[in-house]
Amino acid sequence: MGSQALLFYRFDEEECARRARVSAARLDRLDALQTLLELPVDEPVALASLPARLRSAVRRLPAGAADVDRCEVTRRAVRPLTVDLAVVRASAAGWRGGLEQAGRFAPFCRRALLLDSAPPAPEEKLMEAAFYGIGVLVADGESVDLLLEPRSYTPRRHTPAAWCFIEEFHHRIG
């Protein structure tokens, strides 16, 4: 993403254990993630009921993503973790750039901007951050003050790109 951020996240312990148990391959292809999103989790689906395109895509899924036999497919893979908050650090003078960097995480999680001091014209800046749903924190010596709570995050839809972000992050920390 081209941004440095501190990400707060929670592992899905069951999914991580499942992947380890079956020696699952990396899920880092958008087409594979799209295929998985078209299948229900842990519910067998008759291959004959799927369009030819999806049947073909199912057969190319990475190892461990789904159980496939001659007659049916059962999706097993889900996201291995949830990112709760991305915090981007910026100087008060670099407020605008920090706001833009934090905004890049909008499709994935709640966002906050951590400033090294209170920004000039704070009311105006906080109103702008609130418009975008980005929280604002100020690190002042040894303490951190919350000036604006980040807006809660609810995904509008589940996309291969959002899942790919999670998979890439999981791979980096894994």
* 83/67 same-domain check: no
Q: 56-89: per-residue pLDDT in tens?
A: 999 999 999 999 999 999 999 999 999 999 999 9
* 40/120 same-domain check: no
* Spatial separation of the C-alpha atoms in residues 89 and 95, rounded to whole Å: 9
* 56/83 same-domain check: no
* 63/125 same-domain check: no
The answer to whether residues 65 and 32 touch, using CB atoms and an 8 Å cutoff, is yes
* 68/98 same-domain check: no
Pair of tokens at residue 27:
């899920």
* Spatial separation of the C-alpha atoms in residues 106 and 88, rounded to whole Å: 12
* Spatial separation of the C-alpha atoms in residues 160 and 38, rounded to whole Å: 10
* 97/161 same-domain check: yes
* 43/123 same-domain check: no
Model confidence band, residue 142 (pLDDT cutoffs 50, 70, 90): confident
pTM score of the predicted model: 0.88
Task: List the one residue out of 121, 119, 96, 110 whose CA is nearest residue 150.
Answer: 110
Q: 37-60: per-residue pLDDT in tens?
A: 999 999 999 999 999 999 999 999
Residue 154 is assigned to a structural domain of this protein? yes
C-alpha dihedral sign at 35, 36, 37, 40:
positive
pLDDT confidence of residue 3:
63
* 161/83 same-domain check: yes
The answer to whether residues 85 and 8 touch, using CB atoms and an 8 Å cutoff, is yes
CA 59 and chain centroid, separation: 26
**What rounded mean pLDDT belongs to the chain?**
95
* 66/32 same-domain check: yes
In which domain, by residue range, is 60 found?
25-76
Instruction: Compute the half-sphere exposure of residue 82: CA atoms within 13 Å on the CB side of its CA.
Output: 10
* Spatial separation of the C-alpha atoms in residues 73 and 50, rounded to whole Å: 10
Q: 80-124: per-residue pLDDT in tens?
A: 999 999 999 999 888 999 999 999 999 999 999 999 998 888 899
